[in-house]
Amino acid sequence: MNVSEEGFIALAASFIPLEPIIDKFCAMRKLSWEHSGRYPRIIMRGSNGSLEFRIYLWMCLDSDGRRFEEFNLQTPFELSGIVELTMENSEVRYVTRTLWQGKEWALIAAELESALHTLCDELLSVTTSEVEGSTKVRGGLTSSK
């Protein structure tokens, strides 16, 4: 697949109608947000004590695991989140939550504000001990001193 730069810009434009909802949500929850990468994805960031969390709204891949080349009202999106804790040895343990996977764009706008609050509340309810006990680990190796 060879999506042109103009194609990526057109795909990313699918988020423009959702940005006022995201702005309002992030202002209320005191989160930051940004577009990330060339393939359509918005990341909202926050923290809860020592836990860091991110909420992702992004365009799914097709059934063959490839990026969509064009946007339409049936294009599927995912709304998910991750809660991370950096351990003393620098490894990062995390837990994930997915609220939507494969929801058509045409259905998202009406539900997005409520869904963002639901997912954020779910991420904020994750405890430090739950993340510490997670078997999901990325990065960080114990350094030798």
Query: Is residue 42 within 8 Å of 59, Cβ to Cβ?
Result: no
**Is 90 exceeded by the pLDDT of residue 113?**
yes
Query: Is residue 35 within 8 Å of 24, Cβ to Cβ?
Result: no
**Is 90 exceeded by the pLDDT of residue 124?**
yes
Q: What would the pLDDT profile of 39-86 be if each residue is shown by its tens digit?
A: 778 999 999 989 999 999 998 888 888 887 777 788 889 999 999 999
Q: What value does the mean pLDDT take over residues 90-101?
A: 93
pLDDT of residue 141: 39
List Cα–Cα distances, 106 to 37, 100, 115, in angstroms. 23, 14, 15
Rounded Cα gap, residues 9 and 43, in angstroms:
17
pTM score, whole prediction = 0.86
Say which residue the tokens 């990341």 belong to.
43
Rounded Cα gap, residues 35 and 65, in angstroms:
21
Query: Is residue 98 within 8 Å of 83, Cβ to Cβ?
Result: no
